[in-house]
């Protein structure tokens, strides 16, 4: 009985955390695309990534959560902020000039995609997306992820590393000061 | 093994206060030590041997007017120091300082949070802490601040890579990202400073850069940038930045002790005291360096980070992995 | 499983994906377009990890990690382009960058 | 033992690689000597293998596998050599005679613009031929088979600025490719039924009669093409476009006899398909007559010898076909000696006359070139089979084996053999009397010149001398009625069938008959060409037939080439010009117009592209939802 109470108390706690995370996630997502100043957008993205990391933790993917914070928040967004600060303030007025056909089409297409995905998920939701409770204690730990990554998905790992290397080289070339053609 | 949640909360409160106290007195120690090394006395007015100096500083900071530039962007300007200080303190939660005890049937662990990704979590929090510096400098709307925060940004991102690579050797030897496990393995073998000496050296350099200490203190180079990203800060907001820096330093020293000097292990079973002593010794080395070495130029700093430290760290990690596989 | 079912996570991912797509479609600033792309990638990641939890299968998490690496690469190159554009004093508005038109 | 085999195989390959890699950095002479040395090293390896194989008692035959070369399902083919009596004999012949001929080439090719290429080719040929004879399974044999075809092609067309040489090379290649194809088909059937191509003892046993007949026919097709037997013989005379040492090595001594080796090697299969084996014998008998007849009217010295080669290989086929494998192989060996000798003496003559090959211009050469004359005579007597020269011993035992069959077709073969001996004497000494004896003709006086004060460079004379000795004494190795070490040596690899083992009586009267026939041929030749006592029979039709080589080329031209060419021309006229050539410009114009239209969609506006992308994605998802 007491374990049941504890479980339901834990469940309520998880629900609360989840609701907060979802609201922060979606709210910051909307903030990313609505702020006129890119710096704010980037800051909002941090909030988004943080709340996503919380959701990953709820899904018992702790290593991915940590990697999310370390890679995205720690490196990617820092780079964004760096470049935004480097480029300097360039405010734009995204909502001026009334709705163009482009904007209308964009809203239509994105909305259609959204509705379709939600419908698709909803069609699956009554049943096959109901997950049972337990996963193994190792699920999501670094050792487990490492084993899956380096044994089952070694090729993906290698290809990813090559992609990163190519991107690094590309970044260096793009950012190099020598201008052969000008 | 698990402990009741209320013990964790009590422990967290205690640890936070100890760390804050340590920060306060670290500032005093630094000034005293630097004074001695420069043939001065250092602060010696407040209390015997100046022991009340941190209290006096605190009172001064709290009472000082916290003004802000009129063009500053309000919310980020205020949040930035808080984020920095918060992440700095939070990172300490993962560092084990003792073996753990059982008191009256209650289990008390030797760390606040025992998670499988402890090491990554510390780095993740550290990388969040960077935002305090960047956002603070940017929100000040001041040239010096922006320059300072961009320097901080570049330097921290650069050296974070080497720092993370340098501990890979330890992770391979310890076969875990969980800090208590790494400490336990060292206790039963020998401190990883011996087999991972190169890793230790890289970690030390990376740590100096990550905490912006001399000789890598370019983000706050007074002669060039007034004070870097916190030029426009004053009062307790400035105090929070200072706090964040010093607590980062303490956390880093603690991490170094944990990873390379077998944490709380020592000849006698006095767990936490060993940990504190070792951490203080590392801190002393940091202060010592500050009085000894001149500052690098910025391009030298970058070149050192990318062209020397990073390759060395990579080779070290690879060689360690090969040796572990071979034996 | 404590908390909501996986379906809810996937729904959140869908909404986030829609938001990101909208951002890519209507914003003109290159930087914000890149940020919105990150939103879309993260929505994909959330769905991957939720379904990985659902099937008790690690591949989803591995995919998410690979997506992160790809995102990092993309930002590396994208920001490199932005810096290069800026260095040539070009606009960052994607509507004016139409040199490759037919 | 296996070490010797590997050395034998790889030394020429090393030689050719060295010459190729060094290119023009080494002088021409160095390339020549590299090739010669490598082939003689191969001969050393062959001797090593032979000696160590001789010292073994009991089971003779050893596989040595470097690695698994090809693997597919339950089929494995190793890079595998097989050292047994048969392959060692072939190794000795190929590398020994080959070495002498490569040495001869040094003098013969001296001064040619592309000597290095020649020597690279020729040592590559020796490697290929050794791969053919040493390969431990049929797949490697086929690889060697194809490579000798390739090197033969390269060497026939060596003087590539001559259109006729290029034509001849192509002809040889195509005819050989036909044989290669039938062989490959045979291998497919073998693999499908037995999952193996290895020369393990008794391979191919247990096939159905149809399958075994088909396999034997396929192998026979390959053998006939490579050995220039009817109906795939037309390439060999044209192949004389190549340098004379090439003719001596490839188109007399080694490659063209590979068909005989193939039959001996795969005799397990042929013995199960007796009909096909007799077809082989019949082919041989027919070829030896036809080639002998054609040789009577040829005027090109090399072509006469080439037809003689076809004829002699016909003997070998006859022997192998009736089951006297060791006799066939023995004749192969002696033939290698005397035929190489004949070609090389012919080469000396051609060399001395600045490239002249027409025998009508050569009368009286013997007075100026006595060494050449006597060596040629030794070769000619060996070829005709006059005792004690080598051809006598080997040829007679083949003809005797046909008599041993005792059936009606056995007697037909016997008569063919005797008739062939007569023809051999006739055409050989026609050549002799036309070229060597008598007073030198004006042409010879005008064109003859000496090299270094001798009849040729010492590198040319030494091999000729050695081969003359071998052609004389090489047959003493075996005289079937009395002693037969050669057959005993080959016994484990190619046992002579019981039906083809002649009695001593048969041996004796066959010997008498062949020698008499040969002498009769010589006498007729003497009467016609030396003393002019007899007129050449005036039979215009037969003469034209012979001069046109029984119209084989014309037949193939009419049956294969003309219809194909007509079909191709029709295709070009009816299809390519109106359809294909017209379509191209239309296609281009349409593409340009479409491109011009589509170009307008490419606005360069990133957001528009993304919008289309998103709309497309939405459409795809919608389609999936509806399908669901």
pLDDT averaged over chain B?
A: 82
Q: Does D615 touch chain A (CB under 8 A)?
A: yes
Determine the distance from the C-alpha atom of residue D194 to the mean position of all C-alpha atoms in its chain, rounded to a whole number.
Answer: 29
pLDDT of residue D452: 65
Q: Which two structure tokens, joined as six digits, stand for B269?
A: 């079973």
What is the pLDDT averaged over residues B242-249?
86
Contact D105, D119 (CB under 8 A): yes
Q: Is residue D208 scored above 80 in pLDDT?
A: yes
For chain C, what is the total number of helices (H) and then of strands (E)?
Answer: 3, 0
Residues of D299-326 as b/e, b for ≥16 C-beta within 10 angstroms? eebbbbbbbbbbbbbbbbbbbbbbbbbb
Give me the residue spans of the domains in chain C.
6-87
pLDDT band per the 50, 70, 90 thresholds, residue A1: very low
Identify the domain containing residue D566 by its residue range. Answer: 553-627
Tell me whether residues A59 and C50 touch, CB distance under 8 A: yes
Q: How many CB atoms lie within 10 A of CB D482?
A: 8
Which residues numbered 47-66 in C keep a CB inside 8 Å of some CB on A?
49-50, 52-54, 56, 58-59, 61-66
Angle, alpha carbons D126-D92-D455 (nearest 5°):
70
Residue A182 has a pLDDT of 45
Between CA A95 and CA A111 the distance in angstroms is 18
Residue with tokens 């967004």: A77
For chain D, the first-to-last Cα distance in angstroms comes to: 73
Residue D548 burial by Cβ neighbours in a 10 Å radius (0-12, 13-18, 19+): middle
D87 in any annotated domain: no
Residue D561 inside a domain? The answer is: yes
H-type helices in B72-142, by residue range?
74-91, 118-139
| Half-sphere exposure of residue D65: CA atoms within 13 angstroms, side-chain side | 10
| Cβ–Cβ under 8 Å, residues B95 and B255 | yes
Q: What is the pLDDT of residue D441?
A: 82
CA distance C40 to C25: 12
**Which of these three, D521, D547, D573, is where a domain ends?**
D547
For D121-165, what is each residue's pLDDT tens digit? Answer: 999 999 999 999 998 888 889 999 999 999 999 999 898 888 989
Residue D379: the pLDDT is 92
Domain co-membership, D443 together with D332: yes
Q: How confident is the model at residue A89 (pLDDT cuts 50, 70, 90)?
A: low
Contact, D39 vs D127, CB < 8 A?
A: no
Structure confidence at residue D15 (pLDDT): 92
Tell which of A63, A94, A116, A160 to mutate to test the C interface (max C CBs under 10 Å): A160
Among A2-6, A47-51, B127-131, B147-151, name the one with the lowest average pLDDT: A2-6
Give the end of a domain, one of D505, D528, D547. Answer: D547
Full domain range(s) for residue A150:
137-182
- Let me know whether D429 and D522 are in one domain: yes
> Is any Cβ of chain A less than 8 angstroms from the Cβ of C33?
no
In terms of domains, do D565 and D513 share one?
A: no
Same domain, D424 and D569: no
Q: Do residues D501 and D612 share a domain? A: no
Contact B146 A85 (CB under 8 A): yes
The arithmetic mean of pLDDT across residues B315-319, rounded, is: 89
Please give the pLDDT value at position D124.
93
Determine, yes or no, domain membership for A70: yes
Q: Structure tokens of A77? A: 């967004």
Based on the domain organization, do D508 and D440 belong to the same domain?
yes
- pLDDT category, D102, cuts 50, 70, 90? very high
Q: What is the pLDDT of residues A26-66, one digit of tens each?
A: 898 888 888 878 888 888 888 898 899 888 888 888 888 88
> C and B: touch, per 3+ CB pairs < 8 A?
no
CA distance D602 to chain A (A): 15
A97 assigned to some structural domain: no
3-state secondary structure of A5: helix
pLDDT above 60 for A179: no
Nearest Cα residue to B254 out of B111, B105, B72, B54: B111
Residue at a domain's end among A75, A90, A105: A90
CA end-to-end span of chain C? 54
Is residue A58 assigned to a domain? yes
Note the pLDDT tens digit of each residue in A140-160.
777 788 888 888 888 888 888
B150 contacts on A by Cβ (under 8 Å): 82, 85-86
Specify which residues B107 forms β-bridges with.
Answer: B102
Closest chain C C-alpha to A1 CA, distance in angstroms = 17
Architecture of the structural domain at C6-87: Orthogonal Bundle (1.10)
CB C33, CB A92: distance < 8 Å: no
| pLDDT at A97 (0 to 100) | 53
Please state the domain count of chain A: 2
CB D492 within 8 A of CB D498: no
pLDDT range class, residue A2, cuts 50, 70, 90: very low
Same domain, A86 and A19: yes
Q: By residue range, what is the domain housing residue B226?
A: 5-326
| Residue B273: pLDDT over 50 | yes
Residues A1, A60 within the same domain: yes
In the block, which residue shows the tokens 């590398």?
D95
For chain D, helix, strand, coil in percent to 5 are: 75, 5, 20
Paired sense of beta strands B106-108 and D62-72, if any: unpaired
Contacts of D618 in chain A (CB under 8 A): 109, 112-113, 116
Q: Which residue has the tokens 């933790």?
A: A57
Domain count across chain D: 2
Q: Are D119 and D31 a contacting pair, CB within 8 Å?
A: yes
Cα gap D420→D289, rounded to integer Å: 6
Taking residues D28-45, what's their average pLDDT?
91
Last residue of a domain, one of D523, D547, D571: D547
Residue D575 pLDDT greater than 80, yes or no: yes
Eight-class DSSP state of B62: H
Residue D200 has pLDDT above 80, yes or no: no
Contact D276, D216 (CB under 8 A): yes
What's the pLDDT tens digit per position in B275-298?
A: 888 888 888 888 888 888 887 777
C-alpha span between D194 and D203 (Å, rounded): 8
The residue assigned the tokens 């870097």 is B228
For D317-374, the pLDDT digits (tens) are 998 888 888 888 999 999 999 999 999 999 888 888 887 888 888 888 888 888 888 9
Burial code (b: 16+ CB inside 10 Å, e: under 16) for D440-459 equals beebbeeebeebeeebbbeb
In this model, does residue A135 exceed pLDDT 70?
no
> Would you call A106 an interface residue with chain D, using a CB distance cutoff of 8 Å?
yes
What's the average model confidence in pLDDT over D442-454?
Answer: 75
Q: What is the mean pLDDT of residues B191-208?
A: 85
Nearest-CA distance from A74 to chain B in Å? 5
Tokens representing B260? 């390379």
Q: Would you list the DSSP string of D427-443? A: HHHHHHHHHSSSSPPHH
CB < 8 Å from D in window 11-40 of C: 21, 24-26, 28, 33
Domain count, chain B: 1
**Which of A63, A90, A117 is a domain's end point?**
A90
Say if residue B32's pLDDT is above 80. yes
CB contact under 8 A, D614 and A120: no
- Which residues in chain C land under pLDDT 50? none
CA–CA gap between residue B187 and residue B207 (Å, rounded): 24
Q: What's the confidence (pLDDT) of residue D127?
A: 94
Asked, for residue A83, whether it belongs to a domain, the answer is yes
- What percentage of residues in chain D have a pLDDT greater than 90? 26
Contact D625/C at CB under 8 A = no
Query: Max Cα separation, chain A?
Result: 76
How large is the ipTM? Answer: 0.70
């Amino acid at each position: 009985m007491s374990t049941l109470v504890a479980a339901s108390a834990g469940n309520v706690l998880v629900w609360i955390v989840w609701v907060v995370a979802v609201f922060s996630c979606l709210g910051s997502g909307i903030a990313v695309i609505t702020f006129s100043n890119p710096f704010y957008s980037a800051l909002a993205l941090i909030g988004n990534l943080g709340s996503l990391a919380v959701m990953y933790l709820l899904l018992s993917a702790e290593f991915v959560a940590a990697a999310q914070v370390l890679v995205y928040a720690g490196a990617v967004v820092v780079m964004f902020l760096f470049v935004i600060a480097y480029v300097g303030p360039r405010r734009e007025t995204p909502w001026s000039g009334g709705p163009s056909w482009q904007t209308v089409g964009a809203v239509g297409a994105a909305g259609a995609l959204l509705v379709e995905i939600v419908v698709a998920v909803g069609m699956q939701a009554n049943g096959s997306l109901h997950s049972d409770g337990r996963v193994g204690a190792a699920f999501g730990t670094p050792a487990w992820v490492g084993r899956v990554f380096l044994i089952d998905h070694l090729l993906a790992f290698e290809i990813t590393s090559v992609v990163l290397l190519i991107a690094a080289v590309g970044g260096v070339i793009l950012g190099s000061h020598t201008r052969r053609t000008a | 093994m698990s402990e009741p949640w209320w013990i964790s909360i009590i422990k967290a409160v205690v640890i936070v206060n100890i760390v804050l106290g340590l920060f306060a007195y670290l500032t005093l120690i630094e000034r005293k030590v630097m004074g001695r090394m420069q043939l001065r006395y250092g602060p010696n007015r407040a209390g015997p041997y100046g022991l009340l100096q941190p209290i006096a500083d605190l009172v001064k900071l709290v009472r000082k007017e916290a003004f802000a530039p009129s063009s500053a962007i309000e919310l980020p300007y205020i949040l930035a120091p808080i984020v920095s200080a918060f992440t700095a303190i939070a990172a300490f939660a993962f560092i084990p300082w003792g073996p753990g005890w059982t008191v009256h049937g209650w289990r008390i662990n030797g760390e606040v949070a025992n998670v499988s990704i402890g090491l990554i979590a510390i780095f993740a929090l550290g990388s969040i802490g960077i935002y305090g510096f960047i956002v603070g400098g940017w929100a000040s709307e001041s040239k010096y601040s922006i320059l300072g925060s961009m320097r901080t940004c570049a330097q921290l991102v650069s050296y974070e890579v080497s720092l993370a690579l340098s501990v890979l050797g330890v992770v391979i030897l310890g076969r875990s990202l969980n800090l208590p496990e790494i400490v336990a393995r060292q206790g039963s073998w020998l401190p990883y400073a011996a087999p991972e000496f190169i890793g230790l050296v890289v970690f030390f350099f990376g740590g100096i850069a990550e905490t912006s200490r001399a000789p890598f203190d370019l983000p706050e180079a007074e002669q060039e940038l007034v004070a870097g990203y916190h030029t426009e800060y004053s009062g307790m907001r400035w105090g929070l930045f200072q706090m964040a820096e010093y607590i980062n330093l303490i956390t880093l020293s603690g991490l170094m002790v944990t990873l390379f000097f077998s944490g709380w292990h020592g000849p006698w079973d006095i767990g936490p005291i060993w940990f504190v002593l070792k951490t203080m010794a590392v801190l002393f080395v940091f202060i010592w360096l500050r009085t000894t070495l001149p500052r690098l130029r910025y391009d030298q700093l970058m070149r050192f980070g990318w062209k020397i430290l990073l390759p060395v760290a990579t080779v070290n990690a690879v060689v360690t992995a090969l040796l572990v596989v071979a034996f | 499983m404590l908390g909501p079912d996986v379906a809810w996570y996937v729904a959140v991912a869908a909404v986030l994906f829609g938001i990101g797509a909208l951002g890519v479609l209507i914003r003109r600033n290159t930087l914000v377009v890149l940020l919105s792309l990150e939103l879309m990638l993260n929505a994909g990641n959330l769905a991957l990890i939720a379904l990985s939890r659902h099937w008790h299968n690690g591949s989803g998490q591995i995919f998410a990690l690979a997506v992160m690496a790809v995102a990092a690469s993309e930002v590396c190159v994208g920001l490199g382009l932005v810096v290069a554009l800026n260095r040539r004093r070009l606009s960052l508005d994607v509507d004016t960058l139409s040199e490759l038109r037919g | 033992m296996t070490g010797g085999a590997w050395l034998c195989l790889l030394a020429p390959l090393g030689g050719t690689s060295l010459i190729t890699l060094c290119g023009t950095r080494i002088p021409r002479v160095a390339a020549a000597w590299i090739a010669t040395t490598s082939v003689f090293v191969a001969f050393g390896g062959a001797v090593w293998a032979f000696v160590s194989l001789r010292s073994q008692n009991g089971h003779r035959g050893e596989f040595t596998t470097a690695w698994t070369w090809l693997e597919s399902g339950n089929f494995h083919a190793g890079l595998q050599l097989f050292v047994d009596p048969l392959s060692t004999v072939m190794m000795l012949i190929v590398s020994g005679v080959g070495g002498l001929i490569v040495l001869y080439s040094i003098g013969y090719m001296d001064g040619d613009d592309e000597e290095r290429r020649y020597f690279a080719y020729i040592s590559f040929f020796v490697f290929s031929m050794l791969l053919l004879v040493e390969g431990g399974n049929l797949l490697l044999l086929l690889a060697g088979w194809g490579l000798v075809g390739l090197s033969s092609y390269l060497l026939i067309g060596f003087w590539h600025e001559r259109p006729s040489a290029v034509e001849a090379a192509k002809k040889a290649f195509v005819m050989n490719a036909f044989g290669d194809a039938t062989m490959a088909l045979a291998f497919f059937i073998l693999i499908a039924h037995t999952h193996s191509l290895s020369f393990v003892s008794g391979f191919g046993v247990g096939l159905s009669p149809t399958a075994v007949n088909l396999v034997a026919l396929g192998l026979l097709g390959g053998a006939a093409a490579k050995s220039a037997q009817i109906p795939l013989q037309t390439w060999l005379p044209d192949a004389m476009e190549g340098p004379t040492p090439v003719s001596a090595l490839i188109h007399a001594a080694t490659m063209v006899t590979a068909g005989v080796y193939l039959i001996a090697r795969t005799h397990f299969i042929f013995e199960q398909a007796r009909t096909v084996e007799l077809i082989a014998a019949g082919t041989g008998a027919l070829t030896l007559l036809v080639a002998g007849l054609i040789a009577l009217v040829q005027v090109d010295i090399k072509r006469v010898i080439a037809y003689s080669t076809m004829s002699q290989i016909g003997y070998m086929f006859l022997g192998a076909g009736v089951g006297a494998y060791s006799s066939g192989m023995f004749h192969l060996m002696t033939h290698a000696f005397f035929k190489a000798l004949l070609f090389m003496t012919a080469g000396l003559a051609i060399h001395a006359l600045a490239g002249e090959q027409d025998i009508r211009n050569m009368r009286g050469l013997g007075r100026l070139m006595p060494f050449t004359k006597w060596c040629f005579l030794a070769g000619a007597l060996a070829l005709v089979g006059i005792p004690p020269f080598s051809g006598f011993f080997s040829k007679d035992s083949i003809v005797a084996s046909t008599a041993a069959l005792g059936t009606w077709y056995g007697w037909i073969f016997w008569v063919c053999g005797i008739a062939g001996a007569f023809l051999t004497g006739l055409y050989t000494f026609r050549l002799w009397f036309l070229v060597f004896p008598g007073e030198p003709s004006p042409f010879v006086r005008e064109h003859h010149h000496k090299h270094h004060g001798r009849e040729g460079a010492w590198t040319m004379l030494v091999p000729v001398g050695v081969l003359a000795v071998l052609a004389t004494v090489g047959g003493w190795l075996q005289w079937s009625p009395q002693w037969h070490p050669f057959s005993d040596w080959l016994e484990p690899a190619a046992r002579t069938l019981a039906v083809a083992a002649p009695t001593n009586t048969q041996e004796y009267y066959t010997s008498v008959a062949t020698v008499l026939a040969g002498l009769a041929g010589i006498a007729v030749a003497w009467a016609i060409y030396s003393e002019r006592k007899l007129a050449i029979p005036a039979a215009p039709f037969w003469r034209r037939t012979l001069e046109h080589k029984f119209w084989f080329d014309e037949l193939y031209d009419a049956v294969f080439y003309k219809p194909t060419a007509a079909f191709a021309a029709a295709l070009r006229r009816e299809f390519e010009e109106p359809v294909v050539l017209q379509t191209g410009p239309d296609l281009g114009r349409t593409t340009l117009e479409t491109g011009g239209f589509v170009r307008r969609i490419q606005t360069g506006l990133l957001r528009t592209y993304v919008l289309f992308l998103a709309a497309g994605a939405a459409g795809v998802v919608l389609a999936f939802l509806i399908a669901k």
